[in-house]
Amino acid sequence: MTKTLRIVLDVLKPHQPNALEFSSALADLGEDYRVKLTVTEVDKKTESTIVTIEGADINFENIKNAIEKMGASVHSIDEVEVCGTKST
Amino acid sequence: MIFNKKQLLLHVLRARSIARRYLFTNGFDGSLTMLGMVTGFYVAEMKDLSVAISACLGATVALFISGLSSAYLSEKAEREKELRELEQALLVNLKESDYGHASRYLPILVALVNGLAPLVLSLVILLPLFFAEQLRSLPSSPFLNSIFVALICIFSLGVFIGKISKQFWLWSGLRTLITAIVTVIIILLFGLSI
């Protein structure tokens, strides 16, 4: 088993919920989640964002579901940091 | 916190401001209609209260159904259009997202507000007619009492809208009250000329 420590996502989201509400909703998914959201492009109805999530054990499926629930979509996983947990 | 599901849904499509707008618009519409009807009955010196109550209740039910159906149909069409446009912009299906849920849930909420606002206000305005027997000891006619209640309701709606727009509540209330008084004067003039 591996644990995901950091994940960087390219997310296309609607203007509402706004960046603060959006990232706070993601941070609420895990006790130790730290979320950083950078808006890279603003369109008439959408915002392109880079979302960085850090935590001791990030659950990607939960994050993806929450993002889709808020009307946004994950375009790509741009960066990950994982660590193995198997003891030798 | 905004992340409570219902609050998020409300937030997503600014439901509260829409519902408030409908509450005032149709509440004012209903109150003014009832004011017009009871003023008309007063001018016509209607003696049979049951006829007046039946006519007013008929109008109240019509206002309720009209408010319910018109808001539901228009708001549903508006939300579906907005959802389709957003789906095209995001290139995803939003049916299961908060936007999708809001576009189904919001027209119902708005329709209820739009239908119940004139219904509740009209029934409050008609209270003096319902309790005419008990109010007979009062010097004025039940229609005059109803007109007075209608003016209070309309003034209250003005105060409500004044609080929302952060204007001086008294001035805002007086503006709607003046509209109602002008309506009453026009009906009285019509009544006298017939």
Q: Which H/E stretch holds residue A1?
A: none
Interface of B to A at Cβ within 8 Å reads 2-3, 8, 11-12, 85-86, 89-92, 94, 96-99
Q: How confident is the model at residue B21 (pLDDT cuts 50, 70, 90)?
A: confident
**pLDDT top residue among B17 and A50:** A50
Q: How confident is the model at residue B2 (pLDDT cuts 50, 70, 90)?
A: very low
Q: How confident is the model at residue A76 (pLDDT cuts 50, 70, 90)?
A: very high
3-state secondary structure of A28: coil
DSSP secondary structure letters along B1-48: -TTSHHHHHHHHTTHHHHHHHHHHHHHHHHHHHHHHHHHHHHHTT---
What spatial distance separates the first Cα and last Cα of chain B, rounded to whole Å?
A: 60
Q: Which tokens go with B47?
A: 């003696």
A59-75 pLDDT tens trace: 999 999 999 999 999 99
Residues A28-50 as b or e (16 or more Cβ within 10 Å = b): ebbeebebebeeeeeeeebbebe
Rg, chain A, Cα only: 13
Q: How confident is the model at residue B6 (pLDDT cuts 50, 70, 90)?
A: low
Say which residue the tokens 């008609």 belong to.
B126
Nearest to B2 among A21, A44, A71 (CB): A21
Contact at CB, B90 and A73, closer than 8 angstroms: yes
Average pLDDT over residues A71-88: 88
Q: Indicate if the pLDDT at residue B11 is higher than 50.
A: yes
Contact at CB, A71 and B97, closer than 8 angstroms: yes
ipTM of predicted assembly, 2 dp: 0.77
The span from the CA of A19 to the CA of B1, in Å, is: 15
Q: Indicate if the pLDDT at residue B164 is higher than 90.
A: no
What is the predicted pLDDT for the residue at B155? 96
B48-83 pLDDT tens trace: 888 999 999 999 999 999 999 999 999 999 989 989
What is the predicted pLDDT for the residue at B137? 64
Pick left, alpha or beta for residue A22 (phi over 0 → left; psi -120 to 50 → alpha; otherwise beta).
Answer: alpha
Angle (deg, nearest 10), helices B15-43 and B142-164: 160
What is the predicted pLDDT for the residue at B1? 45
What is the predicted pLDDT for the residue at B10? 65
What is the predicted pLDDT for the residue at B178? 96
- CA B120, B121, B125, B128 dihedral sign is positive
B81-98 pLDDT tens trace: 989 999 998 888 888 888
Say which residue the tokens 């390219």 belong to.
A10
Cβ(B14)–Cβ(B105) below 8 Å: no
- Nearest CA to CA, how far is B116 from chain A (Å)? 29
The span from the CA of B55 to the CA of B49, in Å, is: 10
DSSP secondary structure letters along B60-98: HHHHHHHHHHHHHHHHHHHHHHHHHHHHHHHTS--TTSH
Cβ(B76)–Cβ(B107) below 8 Å: yes
Q: Which of A3-12, B20-29, B132-141, B152-161 has the lowest mean pLDDT?
A: B132-141
Average pLDDT over residues B150-173: 92
Cβ(B125)–Cβ(B149) below 8 Å: yes
Q: Which H/E stretch holds residue A20?
A: helix A19-27
What is the predicted pLDDT for the residue at A82? 95
> With contacts defined as CB-CB under 8 Å, which chain B residues touch A71?
12, 86, 90, 94, 97-99
Contact at CB, B86 and A14, closer than 8 angstroms: yes
Q: How confident is the model at residue B193 (pLDDT cuts 50, 70, 90)?
A: confident
- In B, minimum Cα distance to A69 occurs at B97
Q: Looking at the complex, does the CB of residue A8 fall below 8 Å from at least one CB of chain B?
A: no
What is the predicted pLDDT for the residue at B19? 87
Q: Which tokens go with B53?
A: 């109550």
A5-50 pLDDT tens trace: 999 999 999 998 899 999 999 999 999 999 999 999 999 999 999 9
- CA B184, B143, B22, B60 dihedral sign is negative
**pLDDT top residue among B8 and A1:** A1
> With contacts defined as CB-CB under 8 Å, which chain B residues touch A72?
90
What is the predicted pLDDT for the residue at B138? 66
